[in-house]
Chains A and B, each alone.
Chain A
Amino acid sequence: MSVINHDVIIVGAGLAGLRAAVEAAEYCDVAVISKLHPLRSHSGAAQGGICAALGNEEEDYPLWHAFDTVKGADYLGDQDAIEVMCNDAPRAIIEMEHFGVPFSRTKEGKIAQRPFGGHTRNFGEAPVRRACYAADRTGHVCLHTLYEQCIKRKVRFYSEYQVLDICETEGVVCGVVTYNIRTGEIDVFNSKAVMFATGGFGRAYKTTSNAHANTGDGLGIVMRHGIPLEDMEFVQFHPTGLYRLGILVTEGARGEGGVLRNASGERFMERYAPTVKDLAPRDMISRCMYQEVREGRGVGTAKDYISLDLTHLSLKQIETKLPEISTFAKIYLGVDPSKNPIPVQPTCHYAMGGIPTNVDGRVVTDEKNTVKIGFWAAGECACVSVHGANRLGTNSLLDLIVFGRRAGKDIVQFVRETKGKMPVQKDADKKVREKINNILSRTKGESVGKIRADLQQMMMDKVSVFRTEELLASACRDIKSLRERAKNAVVQDKGKEFNTDLLDAIELEFMIDYSQTIIEGAYHRKESRGAHAHEDYPKRDDANFMKHTLCLVDEGGHSEIKYKPVNMALAERNWEYREKFVAKERKY
């Protein structure tokens, strides 16, 4: 077993991983390992923007931003982390500007800002312009810029290396085991610090706005080391994804007057939300769409989608106000939105939950926030938790660069203070080798693709936009049988190079593990909060459920659920704004 050495290993080259690398590389030898080329990471897909209370367009303060984030999170966000993020936001944006991000500009040449859902002035008074953006390609330009900064700092990249395990010696995380996608070789890396920034897991659902690589591997890996996942039941669905593809159609389409219709052409939102209709909050519209489909009023041969109707708008309005939607609809579905309605479906968009960490990005393993030595996480795979039960638009990119940097800083301090490096165990790669051999040796069974499709369909049907006791109980049974089936999944391709079939099989095991935490977390949370809408318990229940779920699933599928308190720093501080941060009903 040969071992590759670095001071710091960062897994994942999205904005979270790259920002941490930039920070750490000023002082240590940093390697970034990514299953994709860094510039192909999904952070590049973010369009809308990245928010900060710069006050460039109108009065704004980090405190207002913090209020919106706490409220948007349905009071499940940790207030210490939210305060850190909102206060640091203006600095973080200016820094990105200095690194070379071509932000869109105001007439005076300052960074331009636009309004975004849930962001308000003066504690909910009216929408505020807080989102900085580079047209509709904010993620793309940020990703390229941070990559350049890494290159300049001589960060070592290992692209097309998929991490399959972490190395642990005497309870200290000290490396990773990787699978080289090009050659099929297994390598062991040894380092003082390991950070996960492996992104989201939209691919556990049938319809998602996430890329193919967003399979949430990191979440499956940490559970094998006894680290529970936090608040996994909170998964954000965006109401309008293009049918089958899940690609996002912005909210602007409805803002401009587009309406949603079922199979009989009825504008059904009038029935559910008589006043706001098609402009009701995202989570609510997604639920209504799902309801229509479940009750047999879906459109199409499989009756499984809803129509987004723009045909009553003028051609000019569509072309000038919604140009990209009209090209998207044409490119992907061959639909001309001025003549025919666009087929849409709620699409799985963002994971609020993940690997529990503290504000310095250190992974914590229990309800007492005990730190796992040598291990950090940030970005969508982590749960600090700033998004609580529901994330506000543009807060994710901010989360990535704020907590990515903090993790990087903390890592530097750790590396400097720690003499010597914990060695990896002699047989660190044994488990991974056994797993791969086991998978390749199977000859009879179902294909991985079939089991994965069934899992994705099941998650979509039973654990998506709205949940019931019955659905969740049946999902618990389904996941058991999927786990059994996966044990015999057959990989046809037995080769070494670019064996995506094999990697799919490994990813499927991770998917089943963390999908179970979503199901169990949802099953045990007998209330409705943020993205978790439970029909049998339609109200939020602060007395019993104002707490974070910690769920751990072992190899055999046995689960353990614990809870930890929400940090209420702002609501408990003795100051004039105390009242603003105390939990209340979430109304807009």
Chain B
Amino acid sequence: MKLRLKIWRQDSATAQGMFKTYTLDNLEKGMSFLEMLDVLNQQLVTKGERPVVFDHDCREGICGTCGMMINGRAHGPIGGITTCQLHLRSFNDGDELTIEPFRAKAFPVIKDLKIDRSAFDRIIASGGYISASTGSAPEANSILIPHDVAESAFDSAACIGCGACVATCKNGSAALFTSAKISHLAKLPQGRAEARARVVKMVEQMDKEGFGHCTNTEACEAECPMGVSVLNIAQMNWEYNKALLLGA
């Protein structure tokens, strides 16, 4: 099959970017989207042009590295998957695809399709952990957790930090990402002790990083490849208000 690719090219963080169009022939339907970019890069390199920079590693939907806007949708036209899980059979022969980096104020473009997601790291660093020491051997079964509480914490912990929620949100909000970590830890007894201090610090950091405010459009949930639920945002807001009322 044949595809026309309109790809965002940007030399550096400070350079002006622009779209460039490439045409690829003889593509196979069974090929993955990223394999198609590999083919393009091979051709560019052979012609002596600079290959397109994009992030990827596991190519099985686990690591969260990949991610781009394809025809205006985060991770492409199919819901619930990562970019690396997208295949050319989802497109038609002759289609034109517009491929851009995830865009948000807090995610500056580094080069081409590669963005800087270190704002996520700083949100985690502000309090997304449990303070436990490595010293003494903890007691076995000192923490009993009901089955469904554990399941629910696990669902919150599914986030792979890809950034699709931010890219999809018209406000560029990181509420889904941040709330997933907050809820995961707040739901577990071992994480309760610091819950109030944690939510305040993480929400403040999120604002500091320049992410927008959540206006409950729920677009994030629809595009999240891991199915992280907006109920996490509700829990975050509840924890946050409680912390403000009762003190962190």
**Could you tell me if B48 and A211 are in contact, using CB atoms closer than 8 angstroms?**
no
Given known A-B contacts A137-B158, A334-B30, A211 and B58 have beta carbons under 8 A apart: yes
Task: Kindly supply a per-residue 1/0 record for chain A positions 458-482, scoring 1 wherever the CB is within 8 Å of any chain B CB and 0 otherwise.
Answer: 0000000000000000000000000
A90 to B57, CA, bound (A): 32
Among the listed B50, B138, B146, which residue makes an inter-chain contact with A493, where contact means beta carbons less than 8 Å apart?
Answer: B50
**Could you tell me if A212 and B130 are in contact, using CB atoms closer than 8 angstroms?**
no
Any chain B CB within 8 A of the CB of A91? yes
Among the listed B63, B138, B139, B143, which residue makes an inter-chain contact with A40, where contact means beta carbons less than 8 Å apart?
Answer: B63
**Could you tell me if B87 and A331 are in contact, using CB atoms closer than 8 angstroms?**
yes
Given known A-B contacts A103-B150, A137-B158, A152 and B144 have beta carbons under 8 A apart: no
Contacts of B85 in A (CB 8 A): 331-332
Among the listed A37, A135, A144, A501, which residue makes an inter-chain contact with B45, where contact means beta carbons less than 8 Å apart?
Answer: A501
**Could you tell me if B65 and A40 are in contact, using CB atoms closer than 8 angstroms?**
yes
Given known A-B contacts A100-B188, A152-B129, A331-B81, A42 and B58 have beta carbons under 8 A apart: yes
A428 to B62, CA, bound (A): 37
Given known A-B contacts A39-B64, A105-B145, A137-B158, A334 and B87 have beta carbons under 8 A apart: yes
Any chain A CB within 8 A of the CB of B246? no
Any chain B CB within 8 A of the CB of A148? yes
Task: Kindly supply a per-residue 1/0 record for chain A positions 105-116, scoring 1 wherever the CB is within 8 Å of any chain B CB and 0 otherwise.
Answer: 111111000000
Given known A-B contacts A40-B65, A95-B134, A102-B150, A497 and B160 have beta carbons under 8 A apart: no
Any chain A CB within 8 A of the CB of B124? yes
Contacts of A141 in B (CB 8 A): 154, 157
Q: Among residues 107 to 127 in chain A, which have CB atoms less than 8 Å away from a CB atom of chain B?
A: 107-110
A139's closest neighbor in chain B, by CB? B62
Among the listed A36, A151, A245, A331, which residue makes an inter-chain contact with B65, where contact means beta carbons less than 8 Å apart?
Answer: A36
Least distance between B13 CB and chain A CB atoms (Å): 10
**Could you tell me if A100 and B58 are in contact, using CB atoms closer than 8 angstroms?**
no
Q: Among residues 99 to 118 in chain B, which have CB atoms less than 8 Å away from a CB atom of chain A?
A: 110-111, 114
A247's closest neighbor in chain B, by CB? B60
Given known A-B contacts A39-B64, A95-B138, A247-B60, A151 and B124 have beta carbons under 8 A apart: yes
A71 to B151, CA, bound (A): 35
A75 to B62, CA, bound (A): 34
**Could you tell me if A144 and B157 are in contact, using CB atoms closer than 8 angstroms?**
yes
Any chain B CB within 8 A of the CB of A182? yes
**Could you tell me if B60 and A104 are in contact, using CB atoms closer than 8 angstroms?**
no
A245 to B60, CA, bound (A): 9
Least distance between A47 CB and chain B CB atoms (Å): 9
A4 to B228, CA, bound (A): 40
B66's closest neighbor in chain A, by CB? A40
A100's closest neighbor in chain B, by CB? B130
**Could you tell me if B129 and A100 are in contact, using CB atoms closer than 8 angstroms?**
yes
**Could you tell me if A105 and B57 are in contact, using CB atoms closer than 8 angstroms?**
no
**Could you tell me if B111 and A211 are in contact, using CB atoms closer than 8 angstroms?**
no
**Could you tell me if A495 and B50 are in contact, using CB atoms closer than 8 angstroms?**
yes
A94 to B141, CA, bound (A): 8
Task: Kindly supply a per-residue 1/0 record for chain B positions 62-79, scoring 1 wherever the CB is within 8 Å of any chain A CB and 0 otherwise.
Answer: 111100000000000000
Among the listed B129, B138, B139, B190, which residue makes an inter-chain contact with A148, where contact means beta carbons less than 8 Å apart?
Answer: B129
Contacts of B134 in A (CB 8 A): 22-23, 26, 95, 405
Contacts of A144 in B (CB 8 A): 157
Least distance between B22 CB and chain A CB atoms (Å): 17
**Could you tell me if B45 and A94 are in contact, using CB atoms closer than 8 angstroms?**
no
Task: Kindly supply a per-residue 1/0 record for chain B positions 176-190, scoring 1 wherever the CB is within 8 Å of any chain A CB and 0 otherwise.
Answer: 000000001101101
Contacts of A39 in B (CB 8 A): 63-64, 160-161
Q: Among residues 25 to 75 in chain B, which have CB atoms less than 8 Å away from a CB atom of chain A?
A: 29-30, 32, 42, 45-46, 48, 50-51, 53, 56-65
Task: Kindly supply a per-residue 1/0 record for chain A positions 262-305, scoring 1 wherever the CB is within 8 Å of any chain B CB and 0 otherwise.
Answer: 00000000000000000000000000000000000000000000
**Could you tell me if A106 and B129 are in contact, using CB atoms closer than 8 angstroms?**
no
Given contacts A102-B187, A135-B154, A492-B48, 20 further A-B contacts (CB under 8 A): A36-B63, A39-B161, A40-B64, A44-B63, A54-B140, A97-B143, A98-B132, A100-B129, A100-B191, A104-B151, A105-B149, A134-B157, A137-B154, A141-B154, A245-B60, A331-B61, A332-B85, A492-B45, A498-B111, A498-B114
9 closest A-B pairs by CB: A109-B144, A148-B129, A102-B153, A492-B45, A105-B150, A40-B63, A211-B58, A100-B130, A102-B154
On A, residues with C-beta under 8 Å from B are 22-23, 26, 36-37, 39-42, 44-45, 54, 56, 90-91, 94-95, 97-100, 102-110, 134-135, 137, 140-141, 144, 147-149, 151-152, 182, 211-213, 245, 247, 331-334, 405, 449, 492-493, 495, 497-498, 500-501
17 A–B contacts, CB within 8 A, in A order: A26-B135, A40-B57, A40-B58, A45-B58, A45-B63, A97-B138, A102-B150, A105-B151, A134-B157, A137-B158, A148-B128, A331-B61, A331-B87, A334-B87, A492-B45, A492-B46, A495-B50
